[in-house]
Amino acid sequence: MAVFRKIFVANRGEIACRAIRPARELGIPVVVGYSDCDALSLHVKLADEAVRLGPSPASMSYLDIDAVLRAAKDSGCDAIFPGYGFLAENPDFAEAVEREGLVFIGPSARVMRILGDKIAARKALSSSGVPVTPALEDVDDPGKVAKFGDRVGWPILIKASAGGGGKGMQKVFSADEVEESLATARSVAEKAFGKGTVFVEKFIEGGRHIEFQFLADRFGNVIHLGERECSLQRRHQKLVEEAPSSLLTPEVRAKMGAVVVKAMKDIGYETAGTLEFLVDREGKFYALEVNTRIQVEHTVTEMISGFDIIRKMYKISAGERLSLRQEDVLLRGHAIQCRVNAEDPKNNFAPSFGRIAFLRQISGPFVRTESGIYQGWEVPPFYDSLLSKICSVGKDRETAIQRMRRALREFDIWGVRTTIPLLRRIMDNPDFVAGRIDTGFIEENIAGLTEYADYEEEIFKVAGFVAEVSGLGRNVHSG
C-alpha cells in the first residue's frame, strides 16, 4: 500500500536523522525544518528537502506551530512526524495538523490531552485497572499535603501535572518543607509548561523505572514489545537504558504487558507509545505516565524485537492494520543504550557546547549509533544536550555490557565535554554489572563515577589545542 506522498519531520538532531531512514526505505521523500544555527546540521544534509523555520531559539523555530505547518504545506507534505520533545506531545499542534488536512503521525489530540495531564492520566489508567501510586490531587492546603506525607510516609514527591523530564519535581522530606516546595514546584511548572498545577504522590524508595513499549492501530489492535529498564538517571533524565530488565520474571512481564495492552485499548490509543512504571522493592508496580510519542530509548526494543518502530508508526498512521498478534512478538538477547550528551558530569552535568574538533563514532559487530553530529559541526547552546546514542546487543546482559565497553572505548569526540567517561565507569561498576540498580544509582555513586583518569582530562586539553591550530577553535572550552 502507498504510505505517504511526502513526510515532514518536525524535529532535529539524531531523531530527525533516525526518522529519515525508514521513510527512505519506503520510498517516501522527507522534508525537514531547521533553525538558523542548524542550517549545516546533519538532518538537513540527509533530508531530500530542508526549509528554514526561523531564528535559533526553539520558540522562534521548532516550537512555532504556524512556521512548521507552513513549511510542511508549502513543500507538499501530507504527513508530519514530530519525534520527541518540541511539539511532539502538544495536542494543539496535532489538531492544527489535522485541520490543515495533514496526517499527524502519532496519537489523537484527544488521547494526548488525557495522557498529557498526569492527573487525568492517573484517573484513566486507574479506571482501566492499572495500579497507580498513592497520591493527593488537592494540594491547595499545605496542611493536607503534610497529613498525606504522615499517612503514606516521607519523603513524598510534588509533581507538575503537565510536561515531563522531571521539571518542577520536588522531593519533600518533612512537613516543614511542604509550603516552600509547593511554591517552587508551581513556579517551575508555570514557567516550563504554562500550567502551574501540581499534585503529590508517595515516593517509592529504591524504585526501578521500567517502561513498556506498545503499538496500536486505529482498529483496536494493540501489542506490547516488552519492557525497558531506565533506572539509571541523573536529575530524572535517563542516561542508560536496557531491554529487557534484569528484574522482571517472565510471569511479571506477561502480567504487566497485559495491563498495558488493556489500558491502551480502553483509551483508544493509536501508533506507538510507552507506559512507564515504578517497581518497588517488593515487586509491586505502579504506573507513572504514558509517553505519547517515540522514546529516545526505543532503539533497545528494536534490537531485541526486530521491529522498526518508526516504520511501524508510518504505516499505522497511513491506515495499515497491525498484522501481528502478541504471541508473534519474540524477544531475543539483551540490548543496552548509552546517551552521549554534551554535558560535564564533573560539573553537575553542566551543558557543554562548541565545535567538534575530532569525531570517531563506533563501528563493528553488534553495535549501533544513532547520531546527529559530525566532525567540524558546532554544538549549539539552544537545545537538548543529546548528541548520539550508542547501542549494543548480545545473547545475554553480560555480552551486551562487554560490547558496550568496547564501543565506549572506540567512541572519541574532542572539543566538547561529554558523558562518555561517566558511561565507561558505569559499565565497569560491580553493582551495575550485577544488576543492583535503582533510580538513585547515579546520585549515590557520582563521586566514584566521576573519578576520571588524568589522560581523559588531557585529551580535552589536546582537543582544544588541535582545534585552535586547525582554525576550528571557537568555543572549544565552553561549558
Q: Per-residue pLDDT tens for 40-87?
A: 999 999 999 999 999 999 999 999 999 999 999 999 999 999 999 999
Q: How far apart are CA 470 and CA 7, in angstroms?
A: 39
Q: What dihedral do alpha carbons 95, 97, 102, 106 form, nearest 10°? A: -70
* pLDDT beneath 50, residues of the chain: 1, 455, 472-479
- Cell numbers found for residue 279: 517497581
| 208-461 matches 7-105 in CATH topology | no
Rounded-to-integer distance, Cα 89 and Cα 77, Å: 20
In this prediction the pTM is 0.92
Give Dmax (Cα) for the chain.
64
pLDDT of residue 162: 82
Residue 71, pLDDT score: 98
**What pLDDT, in 10s, does the model give residues 340-351?**
999 999 999 999
Q: What's the CATH fold of domain 208-461? A: D-amino Acid Aminotransferase; Chain A, domain 1 (3.30.470)
pLDDT value at residue 194: 81
Q: Give me the numbers of helices (H) and strands (E) for the chain, helices first please.
A: 16, 23
Query: Which H or E run contains 209?
Result: strand 208-216
Domain with residues 7-105, CATH architecture: 3-Layer(aba) Sandwich (3.40)
Given this model, what pLDDT does residue 235 score?
85
272-315 tens-digit pLDDT: 999 999 999 999 999 999 999 999 999 999 999 999 999 999 99
Please tell me the predicted confidence (pLDDT) of residue 479.
Answer: 30
Q: Which residue has the cell 485541520?
A: 99
What's the pLDDT at 475? 40
CA dihedral (238, 240, 241, 245) positive or negative: negative
Residue type, 95: E
C-alpha–C-alpha distance, residues 321 and 324, integer Å: 9
Question: What class is the 134-202 domain?
Answer: alpha beta
The residues spanned by each domain of the chain are 7-105, 134-202, 208-461
β-bridge mates for residue 33, sequence order: 51
Q: Which residues are catalytic?
A: 293
| Parallel, antiparallel or unpaired: strands 7-9 and 79-81 | parallel
Q: Are 124 and 114 in contact (CB under 8 A)?
A: yes
How far apart CA 311 and CA 20 sit, in angstroms, is 10
pLDDT at 270: 98
- Report the alpha-carbon distance of residue 153 to residue 475 in Å, rounded: 48
